[in-house]
Amino acid sequence: MDVSRLELKVRDNAALAISLAARPQGTTMGEISSHTGQGQYNVFRRAEDLGHTVLRQGKGAQMRIRLIHRDDRDSLSQTSIAPADIQPDNGLTQSEENEAVVLTFSLERDLQLALRRNLAQLEPGLTEADDGSEEDFRDITALDKEENLVVIELKAVKAGKDAVAQLLSYMGDVVKKKGVASNKVRGILVAPDFQEKRHCRRLQFYRA
């Protein structure tokens, strides 16, 4: 893809990340970091704000990411961001799998934007602590009225125990990277439904 089509005004490292993700096979966050020295999360957020599609599968350095121009979305049924020899294990065809990934991330993105416009609808006194953009894969990082950091994880589908584990992992990362005491970090999981709710005074569950 000619990345100039994306209408993004970016510097060298961000442009390189975009060009890697725009390849037919996509890229990984590890590959982006090895070439640019950082994750370049914000440039993908900016691409989404312009209406382009960012597909993500997996997490951490192994997260595979692919960028698709907004005018090329009709070709999603013929594309995949996973290697060709890997087949979905959920009974879906690859085309259905791609469409499900796009829909899920679109719904989660919409939910995130709606919450960011008024975090107090989730809990009175919550304010953004991440300058309006994701940090280290955390959907939203906020501060509550008692100055606790609040990690908010959003799911567009029923959240299982893996979502709880993911949120706890993000909370642990905040403790390590920001040097915050563990009793000053809370987590909120937002989803339409839950398979289980782990009893922990530092976790809250809210239906979307």
The whole model's pTM is what? Answer: 0.53
User: By mean pLDDT, which of 31-40, 109-118, 136-145 is the weakest?
Assistant: 31-40
pLDDT greater than 60 at residue 85: no
- The one-letter amino acid code at 115 reads L
pLDDT in tens, 181-192: 999 999 999 888
Taking domain 114-207, whether its CATH number is 3.40.1350.10 is answered by yes
Gap between the Cα atoms of 188 and 151, Å rounded: 6
117 or 185, which is more confident? 185
Please give the radius of gyration of the chain, using alpha carbons only, rounded to the nearest integer.
18
Provide the pairing of β-strand 185-191 with 149-154: parallel
Most confident of 48-57, 87-96, 139-148: 139-148
CATH of 3-83, one of 1.10.12, 1.25.40, 1.10.10, 1.10.375: 1.10.10
pLDDT at 126: 94
| Residue 108 tokens, joined | 């989660």
Contacts (Cβ under 8 Å, ≥6 apart) of 105: 54, 55, 56, 156
How many beta carbons lie within 10 A of that of residue 27, not counting itself? 22
Residues carrying CATH 3.40.1350.10, the chain: 114-207
Gap between the Cα atoms of 87 and 83, Å rounded: 9
Helix (H, G, I), strand (E, B) or coil at 204: strand
What mean pLDDT is reported for the chain?
A: 77
Using an 8 Å Cβ cutoff, are 12 and 33 in contact? Answer: no
pLDDT at 143: 95
pLDDT in tens, 16-29: 888 888 887 788 88
- Please give the average per-residue pLDDT across 104-126, as a whole number: 80
pLDDT at 102: 43
Residues carrying CATH 1.10.10, the chain: 3-83
pLDDT greater than 80 at residue 173: yes
pLDDT greater than 70 at residue 100: no
pLDDT tier, 38 (very low <50, low <70, confident <90, very high otherwise): low
pLDDT at 155: 83
